[in-house]
Amino acid sequence: MKDHLSQEDLVNCQFELGSDEQASAWKQHLAECESCRTALAKLKAKFSSLDLLNVEMVVPQNLVNDLLNKVQSAPVSTRIITWPRMLGLTAAAAVILILAAPHLFKDPDLSDPQLAAKPGMATSKEIAVLKAEEPFPPASAIELNVLPTRDDVQLTIYNSADLTLVREKRNLTMKAGWNWMQFMWVNTLIDPTSLRLEPMKYKDKIDVQALVFPPRLGELGRWLIFSEVSGQVPVEITYLTSGLSWRAFYMGTMSPDEKTMKLEAYVRVINKSGEDYEEAQTRLIVGEVHLLDEVARLARRKYPYGRPIDPYATRESGKDDDERRREKGKYVLWSDGPPPDEDEEGGELMTHKKDIKKEGLSEYFLYTIEGKETIPHRWAKRLPSFDVSDIPIESLYKYDEERWGRSAMRFVSFANDKDHKLGETPIPNGRMRIYRRLDEEKHLAYVGGAEIKYVPIEEDIELDLGRARQVVVEPKLMNYKTDNYLYNGRGDVAGWDEIREWRITVKNTRKIPVTLEITRGFNRPHWTLEPMQDGGYEKHDATHARFNVELEPGSKKEIIYRATTYHGTREQFAK
């Protein structure tokens, strides 16, 4: 027997890389040599590990889309014809040109039906042929176009519902025949069930047939469009998204005498929708809008319209699937495993068309931000809203122990009406900060801030600016006694008066006069008040009296009054 086969021989034998003679010799040797047969078997086992890499590759869809886009944007290069051929062709072309010249430069007769076949517009015959062809399945990348960049976009943000209506204008490149137009919403909060595409031109020649959500391709939808035109077509795409919000901020600057105020309003738009919006016209809705669903929750669903329906889940004899569903009043959305939203109501909702309902609206108002803004994802932008000067205001101090303890509080009030140079639009809720101009050099002092609620037109606004340190109110009980006892049949006290003498010292350490409103409570409706010094009052309500005091700059006043409260059977004596 020959020597054993080398490893190279064994490899070449296994993979048939030798000549016929070599193959024959190896075969004969292996038949006689057990050792070589064992070595060959080991080698085969070793090479079987190559099969570990024998797996089918998955081509990412975005890779294919990107490739096809590049191919579409680059024309097929023209054939390079070598010189000998070119000579003949050039001569032929020259002859043709000379003969055809009179016809080539004629104005086209647009009424000529043959000219309807110019580039961009398919003839009726071509349309019939194109329509007869089946479009490719939506999951293939054939005939697929990816949406080009936006030409224009408008955002209408409904703050109360975390809902934004987006309207985009794009120029799509269509070809005559079937087109698949892809829209992706991955990593955004776009509600795919709200997507709508409408051509702005050639409306009668473009048919948006369906919006399909191919499974296993991720968060994307594809419109199937039949077009009788080829070329650029402007379209409008609308959809609802979540994640955009806005907040109003106000800056009020009071004059040094606190008689007028300049009010500047800003709106801060925050974009957490996952999508960048460039050069967007922004509109803000103030008010309550009633919705069936939350857009953010809708956007995060795995299946836009729920899992495919299992028609056999509720089989009853003699009825078709639609009839059974109508009778049951809802669709069966799952055949195994939990429903997509893990609750029956969520599953039911997904099968119905969504409407924005306007029932129960208090009022809503539309603000349009002037100009256009670019608001990328995770950005916030502050946009100016309005700027009004010399608004007449009232600066008022209040003291009410029951509400604010032993501190005077500062208030600024005005109204959203024409008298106050406002009144054109409601004022959205937001944070207001008030400053006071100290001098002509526009040095400012921060006075205080407050959150304001939505203010309709013709409504008053009162801003609570917090504790006032420069106006001090010190009430002191000077005297207390009880009197006028009444007794019942058993000789027990059944009624009495409580008489309190109060001295309230008020100080104004500011350099401007102030108006102070002091509210005093009696905890009961049966009381009388007798002013003794600067104690002019008004009955505020059943249990409170109110004093209004004007204080000059740097001045001090004392209010003295006697308050009598009636208890038990003495209540009848209250005036």
Nearer to other proteins, 45 or 99 (CB): 45
Nearer to other proteins, 52 or 101 (CB): 52
* Binding stretches for other proteins (CB under 8 A): 7-8, 10-12, 14-15, 17, 41-50, 52-60, 63-64, 66-68, 70-72, 74, 76-80, 136, 140-144, 175
CB of 64 vs other proteins, minimal distance in Å: 6
CB of 69 vs other proteins, minimal distance in Å: 11
Nearer to other proteins, 173 or 515 (CB): 173
CB of 131 vs other proteins, minimal distance in Å: 15
Residue 432, classed as helix, strand or coil, is strand
**Contact between residue 377 and residue 275 where contact means Cβ atoms under 8 Å apart:** yes
Nearer to other proteins, 66 or 363 (CB): 66
Q: For residues 285 and 248, what is the distance between their CA atoms, to the nearest angstrom?
A: 12
List the beta bridge partners of residue 384: 266
Nearer to other proteins, 160 or 173 (CB): 173
**Contact between residue 483 and residue 519 where contact means Cβ atoms under 8 Å apart:** no
**Contact between residue 179 and residue 145 where contact means Cβ atoms under 8 Å apart:** yes
Cα 316–Cα 318–Cα 320 angle in degrees, nearest 5: 75
CB of 36 vs other proteins, minimal distance in Å: 14
Burial (CB count within 10 angstroms: exposed 0-12, middle 13-18, buried 19+), residue 433: middle
* Structure tokens given for 139: 């999951």
Nearer to other proteins, 216 or 442 (CB): 216
The structure tokens 């078709």 sit at: 320
Nearer to other proteins, 79 or 125 (CB): 79
Q: Which H/E stretch holds residue 172?
A: strand 163-174
DSSP β-ladder status, 409-415 and 527-533:
unpaired
DSSP β-ladder status, 244-254 and 430-437:
parallel
CB of 232 vs other proteins, minimal distance in Å: 16
Q: For residues 159 and 522, what is the distance between their CA atoms, to the nearest angstrom?
A: 44
Helix, strand, coil percentages (3-state) for the chain, rounded to 5, are 20, 40, 35
**540: closest CA among 551, 532, 549, 548?**
548
CB of 18 vs other proteins, minimal distance in Å: 9
Nearer to other proteins, 78 or 523 (CB): 78
Nearer to other proteins, 180 or 277 (CB): 180
User: CB-based contacts of 163: which residues, under 8 Å, 6+ apart?
Assistant: 157, 240, 241, 242, 289, 291, 295, 356
Nearer to other proteins, 12 or 484 (CB): 12
**Contact between residue 473 and residue 516 where contact means Cβ atoms under 8 Å apart:** yes
Q: Which H/E stretch holds residue 24?
A: helix 20-32
In residues, how long is the chain? 575
Nearer to other proteins, 73 or 523 (CB): 73
Nearer to other proteins, 97 or 186 (CB): 186
CB of 40 vs other proteins, minimal distance in Å: 9
Nearer to other proteins, 215 or 554 (CB): 215
**Contact between residue 243 and residue 228 where contact means Cβ atoms under 8 Å apart:** no
User: CB-based contacts of 537: which residues, under 8 Å, 6+ apart?
Assistant: 529, 531, 545, 546, 547, 561
CB of 140 vs other proteins, minimal distance in Å: 6
CB of 8 vs other proteins, minimal distance in Å: 5
CB of 28 vs other proteins, minimal distance in Å: 21
The amino acid at 541: D
CB of 63 vs other proteins, minimal distance in Å: 6
DSSP β-ladder status, 380-392 and 206-212:
unpaired
CB of 56 vs other proteins, minimal distance in Å: 6
CB of 230 vs other proteins, minimal distance in Å: 11
Q: Which H/E stretch holds residue 173?
A: strand 163-174
Q: For residues 343 and 565, what is the distance between their CA atoms, to the nearest angstrom?
A: 62
User: How far from 108 is each of 96, 99, 202, CA to CA, in Å?
Assistant: 20, 19, 21
User: CB-based contacts of 574: which residues, under 8 Å, 6+ apart?
Assistant: 525, 526, 527, 528, 566
